[in-house]
Structure 1
Amino acid sequence: LDQGSQQIIEDPADLLVSPFGWHDTNAIAGPEFTDTRGNNVFVQVGGLDARPPNPTGDRAQGGPELEFLDEFNPDLTHSIEQNQRSSTTNTFVALNQTHDILARYGFDEAAGNYQATNYTGLGLPGDAMLADVDDPDVICNASVAFVPSPAAAADVDGQDVNMELNFCNLTVPGRDSGMDNSVVVHEFGHALLARLIGGPLWMQGSVADSQIGAMHEGAGDYLSLIMGMRTTSDPGDAITLGEWYYGDPAGIRRQPYSYDQAIGGRTFEDWNTEDDPSTGIANTEVHQAGEIWAAVLYDMTWELIFKYGGARDGSAMEIAFNEDLHHAVGRTNAAGTATLFTTPTSMLGPDLLDLTTGANNLAMQLFIDGMKYTTSNPTFTDARDAILAADQALTGGVNHDALWRAFARRGIGFRAFGGPLTTTVPIDSSYELPTTPAHITGTAFIDADGDGVRQVTESPLADTLVYMDLNDNGTHERLEPWQSTDAEGLYSFELYLGGPFSIKALPRVNFRQTLPDPIQVENGPINDGGHDVYVVTGKSTAEIDFGFVPSDQTLGIFGTKFADENANGVQDPGEVGIAGVYIYVDLDNDSRIDIGEPAAITDEDGNYGIDYNEAGSVTIREVLDPGFVLTAPASGQHDITIVVGLPYIDVDFGNNSVIDYGDAPDTYDLAGEASHGIVAGLFMGAGVDAEVAAQSGAFADGDDNSDTDDEDGVTFTTQLVADAAASVDIEISTSNVSRGVIQAWLDFDADGVFDADEQIITDGDVVAGTNTFTFNIPAGAQLGDTYARFRYGYERGLGPNGAALAGEVEDYAIGVLTDQPLA
């Protein structure tokens, strides 16, 4: 959540978890409120001694278009109507965004999140978060109020939680905490922890001078920290919270947060009864002790970034960080029991996880899952063990090395003990790592004789990427541990838990792997070219080696064809190769592949090698598939000069997909989204544009409103009348590309599916310009609103669903009239 500048955000709701938007409460399209109330949050201006929601509190008004445009003026006092309404808007957005992000990680309806209506039917409804801003009750403060368990009236799932965001007079003019996102998100952190630890039917309270009280504060601080991270963040940054609210550069904590312990140095040793010299308050006071837990979680995030970024400094962010915090590792089965012991939430198995997301997303997942594994009134070491258990369930424990480093550097190491009770003082701190790590080690080498055995004369192969293929799909994804072999060809993985692991190496250009031999033996077990290793906890496994022989095509032209998902012209981590594409030497420079021109087809990883080594300048091109545009090289071709006896490498091509999707309601795409690769000149109407996914909607106008309005190729020239003939005109582009054929359907029974007997045009041949087609409306057609789909492409017999090679799809909302046309 950004701070420091005002910006207008359009359609910010995450429809996966807030499917009807933020202003709905009845699960029917259309808002029930046009102010700062909705399914997840009620926000209004507070009043003296008024428990949220303040019944007379003002709210920003969005009108029928839900446009909340009150501009905040920092030069005027917090209490003017303009600024109060701005604060209700800011708090409404911040809390809803936090709700949506956390739901992605498993703080969902079944886990006891805060919603007026639970759309899935899981969990208990009736508990939207109630927040008062600019509240006068306790100035220079903010709080979440709830009745904790085991009280009979505890605010468990289904019971409202109240948030007061007070104003402060430490600045001139005074300021409202509802305008400081670090404070707003911190308070959400209290509500999050209260519902997750012990399960949704246990409301975990904050006990004075206790470790659970410290975790309440620390969890809130950490949630603000991780949601404030950006690609420019650095482990040496000094991060403060509440700085704007208090008007103090030092923020509201005794120290800034930082991975650098010279800046933020809190450790478990600081949990003691001594008075802090700067505040005169005992170190067990929950806000002061909360700095310990927040520092641990923040370090955990950086250690995971270092692990997956391949460096122990800010440069790791380029590889390991994901700006999209909505991109969770995996939706988990949230706890739903009435006991204090929550059902584990992350036993998905690696094959069901999204390992392409970032290390910061992994940290968030472990933060959420760890609380679900934690029993009530825990100590710091209880919570530490719960995070370790969450990672074991999520990934098999491959991140324990990074987690233990974070815990140990903050004094919650292997031999730390938080005591038998959450109020225990003193405790035992520890900076030790577990004593029984195991390692998987090996070497990559140049197997000069190709026999799959390393001889003493065969050289090491540096910079070979070796990885743990957690989901065994043969592709290295961002959250799969990896090592790059050093100058001696060595690599090593550190593990604190045993289990089965698949160790693989990425292919090397100009080399062929010989160890393990990747050749598939007929009728033999599947050979993926990796090592299947079983590690016994505490027992290392060595000589997991990889051999590579120089390829038969060491002289030639080599490169990779890759999916350039962000269209930046560079193959970034996570962008995979594209198989089956022709790359060729355009000897006559006519921009097309001809018989006799040297060529190669990219392999499953997008790599290719052309056996060509004649001296001179040549042009290298690709055969561009329909539905893609070339992003690299920018010129569309590589002009290179071949030197006899030397290979030419890194002749890479990047493509970005350009696909046209339908926009009828999503029921029409249950059998697969209708899509066409875009090819210049092959379209209906005036043109066609690309979308990233189906633009489903009740009015079939999502594609109309995406970029340019390309839903212009079909005109119904007659009214649609039951038991009568009807006609349409279809405009076909006048370009010189080969003509396709038209398929069309009209949902006569309005059941949300295009059935086989509802096809009105089959393999319709067309010419450039206007083409008229007639069809009959059945007597039994459902009267009223329905939908039509028109597909133009090369495939004959194409159905209403699924991907087509090329062309365009257009969907229309249309009405069937009574048996008499309207005059």
Structure 2
Amino acid sequence: FTGSIQGTKFTNDLNRNGIFEAGVDLPQPDVTIFLDQNNNGRLDNGELQTPTNSLGGYSFSNLSPATYTVQEIVPPGFTRVTPVQPVTVVANQTTNFDILNIAQTPPTVTGSISGRKFNDINANGRLDVGEPGIPGFTIYIDLNTNNIFDSSESSRLTDATGSYQFNDLQPGTYTLREVQQPGFVATQVPAPVTIPLSTSATVPNFTNINFGNRRDTGSISGRKFIDVNANRTFEPGTDQPQPNVTLFLDINNNGRLDIGDLQTQTDNLGGYSFSNLPPATYTVQEIVPAGFTRVTPVQAVTVVANQPTNFDIANVQVPPPPVTGSISGRKFNDINNDRTFTPGTDQLQPDVTIFLDINNNGQLDRGDLQTQTDNLGGYSFSNLPPATYTVQEIVPAGFTRVTPVQAV
């Protein structure tokens, strides 16, 4: 004893009753209908399936009395609205189960507009290779085209590379403007951008909608030199230029060359230059060459728009440290009276005061260098400038000095 399930797969349910009505609703042919035995919502091997015919009809016959779940592979662009529910089969009866789909409303395809705010160094109205972006500028969509940034208008702030981007823009025509800043003159203003109405996901995104500005800048240049006569002013023929010295603009004034600080090398005439600098004050620092000291004070250097600023930097040579020597020896009891230390015969004299007699008066005075002999009778004076010295001692009681007092 078996039963069957049949029905119609349809769309465009005009009267919203969920039941197929011929002549009103639209049948959906070639849709795969299947009995979902394990209720996982997928068509698995072994599950009964059939395609709908030209009238949207389908049928499953010779079914044992039970409950079944009738599923479909929903066609692209449609959504099933008939609930997934148990369908009961009764012996020797046909159960009707219609399935309604409705067409999905295609999403509105949106576009984007992006570009860069750049320093048009050559003022030709184009973004050329090497022209830098300008951060911190406000780019906005001028909805009412009054050339004024209103609070209700969408805006973006250019990033470190001068870039900006507006996303999810509905089809329409957009006029982009920038909020000008002092010290800049516009050289490129983009035309309005039209995002077309489209149902295709391939609507173009509009890039390279750029804003060009010429920046009013100045420069710092000068000479790095060895100040031979120590007057802090470069004098040709007397002072010497210093090539290959690293100079940098110390942005955070920490006295070190950091990442992001502008730097340059002095040329073979000691010259250097920093150009395209916005009007401001700068600190020009250097990596001081070994053996030199900077004598030009570290100070603020003011850059004025469209003007060069000269700033020379003088170094002087550091005098080399003095070469020194030392005096050392042994204090001993000359047992065999030969005035030469004989190991095993003569005796070492520890704890004897030895001093350099600066004024040669034979006495230990304040300011005379002194030391004590160690347990082996040794003594030493180090870091002595080249000169002649008189080595004296405080002769221990019961002894007489036999080494002559002489210049060392």
TM over 0.5: no
Tell me which interval the TM-score lies in, with the shorter structure as reference length: under 0.3
TM-score after normalising by structure 2: 0.28
Query: Going by fraction, where is strand more abundant, 1 or 2?
Result: 2
**Larger relative contact order, structure 1 or 2 (CA cutoff 8 Å, min sep 6):** 2
Q: Relative to total residues, which structure has the larger helix share, 1 or 2?
A: 1
What is the TM-score normalised by the length of structure 1?
0.15
